[in-house]
Amino acid sequence: MLSGMTPFTLFHVALSLVGIVAGLVVVKGLLQSQRLPGWTAAFLSTTLATTVTGFLFPFHGFTPALGVGVVSAAVLALTLIALYERHLAGSWRWIYVVGAVVSLYLNVFVLIVQSFTKVPALHVLAPTQQEPPFAIVQGVVLLLFVALGVLAVRRFRPTSQRAQAATA
């Protein structure tokens, strides 16, 4: 799978994989109503870097990959505003949670697409990505992320730093 990868492509893939791992930790934290600021910063920064570096690959015309990149950039912008500018106040809490889960989902979505393209055993199952195995995997993953998102919105209720200071 690494054969034929340029250093830039390898860097982009590494960012993506780190973002996915950090994102999984962050979503677990959301489900437990924990903020995990270090993991969150790692997740958001590597996911943003993945999105930005994705735009640096050569392309001709609008592609599905560019569409995912545009959506990812918009979602990440709202997620960053919700967390770092609006401090999860009011509806910004659920905007942050949904944004974090969607950002992770988009990274996993691309991982699945690339896996079916680059991993020979998967490519045989869905060479055009129009076949049932590809659709089933993407469908199951989408349903899993929708469920995670709903649960995370319901469960993530961190106490604000202001509330903690007021009760101290």
pLDDT grade, residue 48 (50/70/90)? very high
Q: What mean pLDDT do residues 12-40 have? A: 97
How far apart, in whole angstroms, are the C-alpha atoms of residue 11 and residue 80? 23
34 to 11, 50, 86, 112, 114: CA distances (angstroms): 30, 25, 18, 28, 32
- Domain count for the chain, please give it: 1
Residue 2, in any domain of the structure: no
The alpha carbon torsion through 138, 117, 103, 142 (nearest 10 deg) reads 0
Residue 73, in any domain of the structure: yes
Residue 28, in any domain of the structure: yes
How far apart, in whole angstroms, are the C-alpha atoms of residue 31 and residue 117? 32
pLDDT grade, residue 162 (50/70/90)? very low
Residues 6+ apart with CB under 8 A from 64: none
Residue 1, in any domain of the structure: no
108 to 4, 61, 89: CA distances (angstroms): 22, 24, 28
pLDDT digits (tens, 9 = 90+) for 75-131: 999 999 999 999 999 999 999 999 999 999 999 999 999 999 999 999 999 999 999
**pTM > 0.85: yes or no:** yes
Lowest mean pLDDT among 24-33, 97-106, 159-168: 159-168
Residue 130, in any domain of the structure: yes
Residue 39, in any domain of the structure: yes
When the pLDDT of each residue in the chain is averaged and rounded to a whole number, the result is 93
Residue 146, in any domain of the structure: yes
DSSP state of 160: P
What residue numbers bound the domain in which 31 lies? 7-167
